[in-house]
Structures are given as C-alpha cells and as structure tokens.
Structure 1
Amino acid sequence: MPQAELPAGYTARPIDPAADLPALQDLVNTCERALDGTATTDAGALVAILARAGLDPAADTLLVHAPDGRLAAWAWTDRRTDADVHPQHRGRGLGAALLRWIEDRAREQGTAELAQIVPDRDEAAVALLHAHGFRPTVTSWLLAVDLDEPVELPPAPDGITVRTFRAADPADEQAAHRLTEDAFDEWQQRRKEFDEWAAHTVRRPTFAADRSPLAFADGRLVGAALALDLPDTGEGYVETVAVHRDFRHRGIARHLLRHTFHACRAAGLRSCTLWTHSATGALDLYLKAGMTVRHSSTVLKKALR
C-alpha cells in the first residue's frame, strides 16, 4: 500500500469503520456546510461507500489527522474516488497529497481509469484535478422543487397502479433491485449486487418507505421512486427514479415523482431534491415535473498508465 506524502506534522492511517464513522461524518458535513450552507451526507451514505464491492477499507481509504490530533482530511478509491479536506486545513497541500496517494493506490490495483465527481462551484478542487490530468466527461445536476403549495395527485397512467414501498419486505426489495439495475444498465459501469445496492437505498437507515411509490402493471413492478429522509435539512430526497424500458414515455416517472412530492409536503418538508446526470437523458423529465436546477457537478476522469 502506498504511503501518503503529507505536510509536516500530519499523519495518515486507514479508516476503522467501527470507530471512525462519527468523526468522518462530522468532517464531510463540515465540508458540505462550507460549500453549500447545509449538510446532506448521513452515516448510511458513508457506510455504503465503505461497503462497496471490491473496496478494502484497510488499503483503499485514508484518514489524515492534524498535529493536534483532529481529523483534517480523508480519501478513498475504488475505480471511483473522493476526498475532502477540512476548511481550516486547506491551502497546505493536503488535497494534492491525497490525490497523489489515490493515483498511486489505483495504479497498484491495476485501475485503468479514475473518476471523481466534483461540484462545479468548488473552483479549487476543479483546478487541482485539471492540473493533474483529469478531464470532464458528464455533468450532474441537483434539482429541487418547492413544496409551498399543495401537490395534486392526478390519476395514474392507463393500466398502472401505484402503492408505497413496503418497508423491510423482501419481495419489494428484490423487485426494486432488479428494476433499477435493469433500467440503469444502459449507462452504469457495472451492476450492483443486492447487498451493495440495498446499502445505498432500501437498507439505509434514512430510507423513507412511505415516500417511495412503486408502479405496477398487471402485478409486475415497472417503476419506482426511492426516497430518503435528510434529517435537519427540511428537504426530502429522491435517491433513485427508474422505469422499465418497455414502459417509458407513458408518464409513469412523473406520476411517481408527484407521489413523492405529495408525501414530502405531508411530512412538513419545504422542498424535495434529486440528482441526475447527462448520460441518463432525464433532465427534461425533471424540469417538466416542476423542478429547477440548484447547482451542478462534473464527473472528471483520468486514464492511468
């Protein structure tokens, strides 16, 4: 495992998932607040990253502590990668040091290409990655809809019935896994096995089954909108919207979103958000559903020799 070449006084070690999660979440949330004024990453999201198939926390993660012992930065790599540096420790070369460690570890693994999602408004991170040979590929957008007014629920499309997700129901879990992985086969790099997928969605502590409508045709699951609760934000969040390719362009996705928006407003939330990116071709769908772009990120990639 490569060693990170850090500024004087900083030390690094791998993450201990059992002990380091609270401090890690605090670091990530601090970075989010510095950039956007709000924190959206819950502990479940970090657990899901550390449980990625193929990621070994002992070799593929790094925590950086400052001379006073406080957590200053972290990074992970497993085909995709990410890193955060505490605002109080920026401008000292930690970001560049972590990026060098990421690339060294990726080459050691035999990774052909690295990908990282970077907020376009984080100009320093964008400049750093560009300087190290990363190039933009696809664009991601965070969209939001205000829920100040009541959300009407029109009739479902012809032949479609809708109900909410049954929490902890293995049948709903397995059917939703098949549907979403089949729907995203067109653009995702690899299919997720059930356990990895579930850790990001239906087995996540913040999964909101009562805000997650499912669409059926003759008893077959053909559409799903899987929502999360984002504590302390006043917002709902849609993790996944998927419609079987044979049932697209019938208004199912938009109808499912209306159900989620309705449930979020009933829960007293002021808005609902979701991410999409240019490879899915779904931006127009969300704009027509009344959502607007809040901000954007870019997937930057680098081929490794």
Structure 2
Amino acid sequence: MRLPDGLTARPLTLDDAAAVTELIVAEELHDVGQVDVTVDDVVSEWQRPSYDIASSTLGVFDGDRLVAYADLVYPDFGYTGVLPTERGRGLGTALAPWLEALARTRGSALISNQVPRDGAAHRLLAARGYRERWTAWDLELPEGARVVAQPLAEGHALRDARPDEHEVVFDVIETAFSEWRDRGTLEDFAAMVWGRPGHEPWNLRVCTDPEGTIVGATHVYLTGDAGYVARIAVRRDRRGRGLAAAMLADGFGLARAHGAVRCYLATDSRTGALGLYEKVGMVISSAWVNLALDLGPS
C-alpha cells in the first residue's frame, strides 16, 4: 500500500479506540453535521469474541496522530475513515483495496460499506464499481419534542430484562433481524448489549404478553446527551398490535429520564419501519447509502 511520504501504517489496538472515535466524530461533524458515536461504541464492537482487531484493522499515522483507518468489522462489511483535513491525499484510495483484499481472503463474495449519501466516500466507492443496495437513515426525536406514551395491548407489560432472560432476548431480537441479515451469535450479542461498557438494567427492556412470555425487546442507552435505540424487535406473530410504538416511546421516555436531551435511532429501507418512526414524531436527520462490491476469486 502506497502512502504519502511521512505517513506510517500499523494494525490498531484497543488503546487506539479513543483516537478512532475522535476521527469518526470529525467525519460525522463534517459530513452530516452531528455526532452519534462514543468510545463505548467502538470498544463494544472490538470486544466481540468473533472479532480480531490485530488482523482486521489498519491505522494510518502522521507521527502519533491517527489520520485514517480501515476496519473489516464483519467478513463482508467494513469501514474506512479519513480525517476531513487529510482528504485529497489518496488515503481512502489506498485503504479501499486493502479492505477489499482482506474481505476476499476471508472468503467473502462481496465487501460492503455504509456512507453518507452523495459525500466524498460515496463518490470514491461508486468510482471503484460499488453498487447501491439500500438507503439508510438516522432519525431524531428533536430536543423539546414530547414523548407521547403509547398504549400497550391489553395484558402486555414493559419492564427491565432479567439476567436469566438474556438468551431469550437475544433470540427475539436476532430472529427478527435475521429477516434481512445473517443471524449473529449469542457471544457477540452479549459483548455489544449487556457487556457494553456502562450497561445498566434499564438499557435492556422486554415486552411480555398476558402469559408473561417475552414477545419483544428494546436495547436503549445514552451516548453523551442523546438516547439511542440500538435495537427494537417484536416477534413476527405479535406484530400489528402497536407493541413497537409503545416500546419505542418507553425507550425514549427512559432515556429522557436518565438525562437525554434528544433521542435517535437508525433504520434502512429493508425494514419497512420508517413510517412507524415518523408516526411517533421522529424526523430524518441524515441519509446514508449501503454500497457493495462483488469480489472475484482470490
């Protein structure tokens, strides 16, 4: 990989989590005008048992300062980031083929990335032959907007998940999410949910039916002064009863009670949930595009 004179590259370590977070923050402020990432987000991704940071990352440094990086988060999905002040030096162009080659060695048929629509990364990947797969959105419940409590179907209840229910929560959420992506593992899920730095009992909520069976779950936490609904799912056979709207209002209400000034979440065109979120008062704050490159044989 050819880099501009004076720059060096090496695999990242957990000690680089803060520097990576600072780089992502700079990119988000520049590209979409808001910041929705913390160092805990980076650490929770990197601490997954299925993930190896040493073989999945490459950081580019100017002295001790991180100026760009690449991260194959999953065998077919990766991130690249370049400080806005360092763009135009060919760093993204150098990192993209490194990430593609790494995905190919892991047996992936494609490599994908999700970037702000019409931004610099979108243009770079499109020029490399990446195709668009779906649109994604960040949605926000603006500061001062009222969280309207939604009625639960008769006999249903919302409460914190107990530790002995964690595996059931995993199954409910991953079964729902596997309708449009590969099912994850319990170990990775645990690292990113109840193993996330700073996790508290209210961060994981369940919806139970009249028999006490868990039929839905919500994962919500604070990122700075914002409440983030990271995961929300209802069993397929219990949909259409208004449970998701009630669970969403519950999650936002708890985030507000714990100090959140605004609340947000992310969704995409595969889920069909955009209308639900807009119905409870959320507005689109940024649009993203998922792009993929089909990989040839290694």
TM-score normalized by the length of structure 2: 0.91
Which of 82, 94, 98 matches 1:97?
94
Is this contact kept in 2: 1:211–1:259, CA < 8 A?
Answer: no
The one-letter amino acid of 1:203's match is: G
Distance 1:163 1:49, change over 3 A: closer
The one-letter amino acid of 1:6's match is: L
Query: For residue 53 of structure 2, what is the aligned residue in structure 1?
Result: 57
Is this contact kept in 2: 1:147–1:261, CA < 8 A?
Answer: no
**Once the 2 structures are TM-superposed, how far is the Cα of residue 202 of structure 1 from its aligned partner?**
2.4
Select between 86-95 and 246-255 the one with higher mean Cα deviation.
Answer: 86-95
Distance 1:264 1:114, change over 3 A: same
Is this contact kept in 2: 1:179–1:244, CA < 8 A?
Answer: yes
In 2, Cα distance between equivalents of 1:273 and 1:298: 18
Query: For residue 275 of structure 2, what is the aligned residue in structure 1?
Result: 284
**Once the 2 structures are TM-superposed, how far is the Cα of residue 230 of structure 1 from its aligned partner?**
0.6
The one-letter amino acid of 2:214's match is: L
SS of alignment partner, residue 139 of structure 2:
strand
Is this contact kept in 1: 2:21–2:38, CA < 8 A?
Answer: yes
**Once the 2 structures are TM-superposed, how far is the Cα of residue 134 of structure 1 from its aligned partner?**
0.5
Query: For residue 153 of structure 1, what is the aligned residue in structure 2?
Result: 149
The one-letter amino acid of 1:99's match is: A
* 5+ residue gaps, structure 2: none
Query: For residue 178 of structure 2, what is the aligned residue in structure 1?
Result: 185
Select between 49-58 and 249-258 the one with higher mean Cα deviation.
Answer: 49-58
Cα offsets for 1:134-173 (capped at 9, x unmatched) = 01101111111135255343442123111133xxx42232
Number of equivalenced pairs: 293
Is this contact kept in 2: 1:142–1:273, CA < 8 A?
Answer: yes
Query: For residue 81 of structure 1, what is the aligned residue in structure 2?
Result: 78
SS of alignment partner, residue 187 of structure 1:
coil
SS of alignment partner, residue 286 of structure 1:
helix
Select between 253-262 and 193-202 the one with higher mean Cα deviation.
Answer: 193-202
Which of 216, 222, 245 matches 2:236?
245
TM-score normalized by the length of structure 1: 0.89
Query: For residue 117 of structure 1, what is the aligned residue in structure 2?
Result: 114
**Once the 2 structures are TM-superposed, how far is the Cα of residue 213 of structure 1 from its aligned partner?**
3.2
Distance 1:269 1:225, change over 3 A: same
Is this contact kept in 2: 1:225–1:256, CA < 8 A?
Answer: yes
In 2, Cα distance between equivalents of 1:256 and 1:46: 26
Is 2:191 the counterpart of 1:199? yes
In 2, Cα distance between equivalents of 1:201 and 1:235: 17
Is this contact kept in 1: 2:193–2:219, CA < 8 A?
Answer: yes
Query: For residue 202 of structure 2, what is the aligned residue in structure 1?
Result: 210
Is 2:167 the counterpart of 1:170? no
**Once the 2 structures are TM-superposed, how far is the Cα of residue 48 of structure 1 from its aligned partner?**
3.1
